[in-house]
């Protein structure tokens, strides 16, 4: 009887799905849930895949490089700041490009339809004084 109870308790414990949860401080969720980790892992890393990386058009012409990313007040990455200026920041011309216009193709950031001249004609992005 005792062995049957242990067996039943073990079977019930194994049948209940176990979900990992992020750390919780008080009632505030800290970090991401285990289910979100896969989404995070396949996303873009600002440090590894975005910042400082060259930007090309669909003709494989280098048209600039990513200098920064802008996170909007609703906490979404909304714009990439592309430096379309000269070599080593000389004649720097930063422009804000909506992130959804950039595509990652063969490990290259592509801005379809863009040219360096077209980006230079775009009004420059300037950081606010805040």
Domains of the chain: 2-39 (no CATH), 45-121 (2.30.30.240)
* pLDDT (tens digit per residue) in 77-109: 889 999 987 655 567 889 999 999 999 899 899
pLDDT at 88: 56
Q: In this structure, is the dihedral angle defined by the CA atoms of residues 25, 29, 30 and 31, taken in order, positive or negative?
A: positive
pLDDT-based confidence at residue 14 (cuts at 50, 70, 90): very low
Q: Calculate what percentage of the chain has a pLDDT beyond 90.
A: 35
Question: pTM for the full model?
Answer: 0.64
Which residues lie below 8 Å from residue 108, measured CB to CB, with a gap of 6+?
54, 56
Paired sense of beta strands 54-56 and 108-111, if any: parallel
* Residue 100: per-residue pLDDT: 92
What is residue 128's predicted lDDT score, i.e. its pLDDT?
Answer: 82
* CA-to-CA separations, 46 to 60, 100, 104, in angstroms, rounded: 22, 15, 13
Strand-by-strand arrangement of the 62-71 sheet: 94-98, 77-83, 62-71, 54-56, 108-111, 102-105
């Amino acid at each position: 009887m005792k062995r049957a109870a242990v067996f039943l308790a073990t079977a019930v414990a194994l049948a209940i799905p176990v979900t990992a949860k992020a750390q919780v401080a008080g009632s505030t969720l800290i970090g991401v849930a285990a289910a979100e980790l896969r989404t995070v892992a396949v996303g873009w890393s600002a440090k590894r895949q975005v910042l400082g990386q060259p930007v090309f058009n669909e003709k494989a012409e280098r048209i600039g490089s990513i200098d920064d990313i802008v996170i909007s007040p609703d906490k979404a990455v909304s714009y990439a700041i592309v430096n379309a200026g000269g070599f080593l920041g000389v004649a720097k011309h930063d422009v804000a490009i909506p992130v959804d216009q950039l595509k990652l193709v063969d490990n290259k950031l592509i801005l379809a339809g863009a040219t360096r001249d077209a980006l230079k004609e775009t009004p420059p992005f300037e950081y606010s004084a805040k």
